[in-house]
């Protein structure tokens, strides 16, 4: 019996050993694979499609870029902005994404090569200090000044419904970007404004943060949502800016009191309830009235017979 227990422990120990040593190993890629050049130019189109692929296929483990909120696995799925990922050559990234290792899935046949390169272009666009190169269209922009300290501006990129908030410091007519501010974007709601990013996002070297607009967010009857960006870390005064955009799902408010229902006032109660109620009331009173009538008749008959 005892011997069995030792055997089990020994099996568990030696069984785990390769996993333990393996997980700590540096992930090396052959020089031929590492030298592979990226054939896809890193333009807006490629970066945008890489971004949506990343969000769909990688974000669940690697987290939001720059936030280090990946899954707590061992080894950890690194943040795409981290040096560990960025110091890979493009070819090495392709190899690792294609082949996977341990908990990192093998995407060789799941994502076609061109899309892998798009993801790599996106990952490169996240490199610290580099601008997000996805500012393609600027449908709305509102700048609100706050006494020369910090200004926030909204910019919207429609293809992927991205909100970009830029923090600048106006100095002698020039707007100087302010990096390192914590910004939170809210959608205005009736009771408590809805945060679109859980933790404050830190502005990059261009003073910008990017927030994805949640596709399912309801707006007003024509889909307008009032957005609010606030500096939540970095300055003591509250700095905020708001802008409206028609990206929400149109939502028509139906007053529950305008429909017949049990909780509604008497005349808005359901028909079946009104019918059965008045049916019973009329029935009972009708019966009583009928009885009184019959008793009246009896009295009449009695007086006729007496005479
Ligand atoms: C199921 C979780 C999971 C998903 C999904 C996932 N990864 Fe990973 N990834 C990991 C883990 C865990 C590691 C660390 C593996 C290791 O070092 O053994 C990793 C490592 C990596 C590395 C290597 C980093 C290094 O050590 O150089 C790259 C690059 C990478 N992932 C990119 C991606 C991309 C791109 C996607 C989406 C197409 C993706 N991953 C999807 C879990 C995941």
What pLDDT score does 116 carry? Answer: 94
54-102 pLDDT, tens digit per residue, is 998 999 889 888 888 888 888 889 999 888 899 899 999 999 999 999 8
Confidence class of residue 200 from pLDDT cuts 50, 70 and 90?
Answer: confident
Ligand 1 centroid vs 104 CA: distance in angstroms?
A: 4
Measured in Å, residue 121 CA sits from the centre of ligand 1 at 16
Name the closest-CA residue to atom 29, ligand 1.
93
Tens digits of residue pLDDT in 265-306 = 888 889 999 999 999 999 999 999 999 999 999 989 988 887
Six token digits for residue 219: 């707006």
Residue closest via CA to ligand 1's atom 25 equals 85
Tally of residues, the chain: 307
Q: How far is CA 165 from the centre of its chain?
A: 17
In the reported structure, the alpha carbon of residue 25 is separated from the centroid of ligand 1 by a whole-number distance in angstroms of 14
Tell me the mean pLDDT in the region 174-199: 85
CA dihedral 27, 30, 33, 35 (to 10 degrees): 100
121-143 confidence digits (pLDDT tens): 999 988 765 544 444 333 333 33
Report the pLDDT value the prediction gives residue 284, as an integer from 0 to 100: 97
Query: Strands 182-187 and 240-245: what pairing?
Result: unpaired
Instruction: Look up tokens 């800016």; give the residue.
Output: 241
What's the confidence (pLDDT) of residue 120?
A: 94
Confidence of residue 50 (pLDDT cuts 50, 70, 90): very high
> Best mutation site among 20, 28, 62 for ligand 1, i.e. most ligand atoms within 8 A of its Cβ?
62
Q: Model confidence over 99-114: pLDDT tens digits?
A: 999 889 999 998 999 9
Ligand 1 atom nearest the C-alpha of 111 is 38
Indicate if the pLDDT at residue 214 is higher than 90.
no
Which of 109, 104, 94 shows the shortest CA–CA distance to 40?
94
CA distance 138 to 141: 7
Query: Ligand 1 centroid vs 182 CA: distance in angstroms?
Result: 27
Can you give the pLDDT at residue 176?
Answer: 80
User: Cα 49 vs. chain centroid, distance in angstroms?
Assistant: 18
Query: Going by C-beta distance under 8 Å and a sequence separation of 6 or more, which residues neighbour residue 201?
Result: 66, 67, 182, 183, 184, 209, 210, 211
Ligand 1 centroid to residue 123 C-alpha, Å: 12
Class (C level, CATH) for 24-125: mainly alpha
Residue 157 and residue 140 in contact, taking contact as beta carbons nearer than 8 Å: no
Write down the pLDDT at residue 7: 65
The protein residue with its alpha carbon nearest to ligand 1, atom 14, reads: 77
Q: Give per-residue pLDDT as tens, 257-266.
A: 778 888 888 8
Residues flanking ligand 1, CB < 6 Å: 27, 57-58, 60-62, 73, 75, 77-78, 84-85, 88, 93, 96-97, 101-105, 107, 111, 119
- Round the average pLDDT of the chain to a whole number and report it: 81
Q: Which CATH architecture has domain 143-245?
A: Sandwich (2.60)
244: helix, strand or coil: strand
Tell me if residue 86 falls in helix, strand or coil.
helix
CA-nearest of 265, 263, 229, 268 to 245 is 229
- For the record, the structure tokens of 98 come out as 């294609």
| C-alpha radius of gyration, the chain, whole number | 34
Is this structure's pTM higher than 0.85? Answer: no
Top pLDDT among 135 and 169 is at: 169
> Using CA atoms, how far apart are residues 97 and 92, in angstroms rounded to an integer?
9
Q: How far does residue 105's CA lie from ligand 1's centre (Å)?
A: 7
> How do residues 218-256 score in pLDDT, each as one tens digit?
888 888 888 888 888 776 667 788 888 888 888 887 777
pLDDT score for 231? 84
Q: How far is the CA of 199 from the centre of ligand 1 (A)?
A: 23
What are the domain boundaries of the chain? 24-125, 143-245, 266-297
Nearest atom of ligand 1 to the alpha carbon of 119: 35
Helix, strand, coil percentages in the chain from 3-state DSSP, rounded to 5? 35, 20, 45
């Amino acid at each position: 019996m005892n011997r069995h227990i030792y055997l089990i422990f020994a099996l568990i120990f030696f069984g785990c050993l390769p996993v333990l040593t393996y997980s700590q190993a540096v992930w090396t890629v052959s020089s031929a694979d590492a030298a592979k050049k990226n054939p896809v130019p890193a333009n807006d189109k490629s970066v945008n499609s890489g971004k949506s692929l990343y969000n769909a296929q990688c974000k669940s483990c690697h987290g939001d870029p720059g936030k280090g909120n990946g899954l707590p696995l061992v080894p950890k799925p690194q943040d795409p902005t981290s040096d560990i990922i960025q110091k890979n050559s493009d070819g090495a990234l392709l190899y690792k994404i294609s082949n996977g290792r341990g908990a990192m899935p093998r995407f060789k046949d799941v994502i076609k090569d061109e899309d892998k390169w798009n993801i790599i272009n996106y990952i490169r666009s996240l490199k610290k200090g580099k601008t997000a190169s996805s500012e393609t269209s600027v449908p709305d922009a509102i700048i609100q000044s706050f006494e020369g300290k910090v200004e926030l501006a909204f910019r919207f990129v429609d293809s992927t419904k991205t909100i970009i908030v830029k923090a600048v410091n106006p100095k002698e007519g020039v707007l100087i970007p302010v990096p390192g501010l914590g910004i939170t974007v809210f959608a205005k709601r009736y009771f408590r404004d809805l945060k679109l990013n859980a933790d404050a996002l830190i502005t990059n070297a261009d003073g910008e943060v990017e927030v994805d607009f949640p596709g399912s967010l309801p707006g007003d009857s024509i889909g307008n949502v009032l957005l609010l960006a606030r500096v939540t870390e970095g300055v003591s005064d509250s700095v905020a800016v708001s802008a409206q955009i028609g990206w929400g799902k149109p939502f028509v408010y139906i007053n529950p009191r305008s429909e017949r229902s049990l909780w509604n006032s008497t005349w808005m109660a359901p028909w079946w309830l009104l019918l059965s109620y008045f049916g019973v009331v009329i029935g009972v009173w009708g019966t009583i009235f009928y009885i009184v009538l019959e008793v009246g008749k009896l009295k009449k008959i009695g007086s006729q017979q007496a005479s």
